Chains A and B, each alone.
Chain A
């Protein structure tokens, strides 16, 4: 009976304990070691190898709901791109992309990069697959100003970009499945398939299993998986930020979920065993 009660705890106590376990390492960090995976290292090595001044695209496609995982990823990747003095175009095919880009760029060390010459933030382009295809082949057909209303035809960086053939590396952030509009799916189908541009993907952890076959087949060059991928990349570029700080809380919460599964099963099996004995 006591064992069966283990699977009958009021869910509100479970929620409260979860909040406490998440908050504790935020206030009192533990400092767990983080192993670098080959998926994150591949992206780092690829970007490290890009010559200074090359043109890259950083597709900022995530909403506020996914910013907790993808914000740190994008911050780490963009920081690396600025460190390498690459020229960065930031298109957005998700409605909240431009606003999230403004939040991400707030406080970023741009290493003296000049807006309009070395980097540019583009506005939201509607259409999902159509928008990515149009941007990759003929950008003036779909966008004429940057996010702040400045004409793109006057910008030196946009004179370097005719189509995706001019891009050395394309990095696509994305929430959701590869089939979703405004995520990395259209980048795979409209950029990699047509132009063969190397593509790195920043995915939510829950979307990673769906995009992993593309990584395994070599279609995409590298993959950052969720908060863990962001933490690994921060360590690779030697700038620990919010993702590294979050690792302890995530670890504890995972152990908590495993414990909950164990408790639930103890109650289930004791109930089953008692029923069989009767």
Chain B
């Protein structure tokens, strides 16, 4: 690979990170225009990723299943591709912006029930998990379970009716152990993010630029 295939992407990333962070902390006249323009460009390139890559990947995958005529699967793949193209076409040509209700109606009728119900299946699974796997096996799992049960009794309105202490204890758990734990994790991940940024600037992280 030549320079502009291998090194240039790393250079682009490094320069962008350094200049954007520098202009945030040091007030240079005109730097806000530079930042605003770059963030708008990133948003626009991101839009191309969603508009092109997403549907293309999906159609490519299902076209592979159709070409192999995989039993029990290929008809569903035909259906998936058809519905993808129909929704895409309605959104782009018939109802490109919110002025028409066609896309909103498709969203309300097809996407909302499917999305909401798939997410709601997790309610069953957590009930099943609570029944089969959440056991007081040792001190550590007991602490975790106890915290979970106390928080559940705090969240449920009936918890305060059963015993007024549940909301008070639940509040304390959220304020102290929960905040202490997730604050520590947050500090660690922020330092890790800064370290990752330094690695990107120095060119040690190459995965996004075709390296390993």
Give the interface of A toward B (CB within 8 A): 7, 9, 11, 14-15, 18, 32-35, 37, 63-68, 95-96, 98-99, 102-103, 121, 123, 125-128, 130-131, 133-134, 137-138, 141-142, 145-149, 194, 205, 208-210, 212-213, 216, 225-226, 228, 231, 247-248, 250-258, 260-261, 263-265, 268-269
Knowing A64-B115, A205-B155, the reply to whether A258 touches B127 (Cβ < 8 A) is no
Minimal beta-carbon separation of A170 from chain B (angstroms): 18
Bound Cα distance A175, B138 (Å): 33
Chain A hits for B159, CB < 8 A:
251, 254
Bound Cα distance A273, B36 (Å): 66
Interface positions, chain B 113-145, Cβ under 8 Å from A, are 115-116, 118-120, 123-124, 126-128, 130-137, 145
CB of B98 closer than 8 Å to a CB of A: yes
Judge whether B155 and A127 touch: CB under 8 Å.
no
Judge whether A123 and B98 touch: CB under 8 Å.
yes
Judge whether A18 and B157 touch: CB under 8 Å.
no
CB of B175 closer than 8 Å to a CB of A: yes
Judge whether B124 and A148 touch: CB under 8 Å.
no
A-B contacts at CB below 8 angstroms, number = 182
Judge whether A127 and B135 touch: CB under 8 Å.
no
Which residue on B lies nearest to A127, using beta carbons? B43
Bound Cα distance A101, B48 (Å): 24
Interface residues as binary, B29-50 with A (CB distance below 8 Å gives 1, 0 otherwise)? 0001001110110111011001
Judge whether B135 and A33 touch: CB under 8 Å.
no
Judge whether A63 and B115 touch: CB under 8 Å.
yes
Bound Cα distance A64, B116 (Å): 5
Minimal beta-carbon separation of A118 from chain B (angstroms): 19
Knowing A65-B119, A67-B116, A257-B127, the reply to whether A126 touches B39 (Cβ < 8 A) is no
CB of B82 closer than 8 Å to a CB of A: no
Bound Cα distance A258, B166 (Å): 14
Which of B43, B108, B134, B137: most chain A CB closer than 10 A?
Answer: B43
Knowing A134-B43, A216-B179, the reply to whether A14 touches B128 (Cβ < 8 A) is yes
Give the interface of B toward A (CB within 8 A): 24, 32, 35-37, 39-40, 42-44, 46-47, 50, 97-99, 103-104, 107-108, 111-112, 115-116, 118-120, 123-124, 126-128, 130-137, 145, 149, 152-153, 155-161, 167, 171, 174-175, 178-179, 182-183, 186
Judge whether A213 and B46 touch: CB under 8 Å.
no
Judge whether B98 and A148 touch: CB under 8 Å.
yes
Judge whether A213 and B179 touch: CB under 8 Å.
yes
Bound Cα distance A233, B179 (Å): 23
Judge whether A137 and B46 touch: CB under 8 Å.
no
Minimal beta-carbon separation of A190 from chain B (angstroms): 9
Judge whether A213 and B145 touch: CB under 8 Å.
no
Which of B37, B107, B108, B145: most chain A CB closer than 10 A?
Answer: B107
Chain A hits for B119, CB < 8 A:
65-66
Minimal beta-carbon separation of A84 from chain B (angstroms): 26
Which of A14, A141, A149, A269: most chain B CB closer than 10 A?
Answer: A141
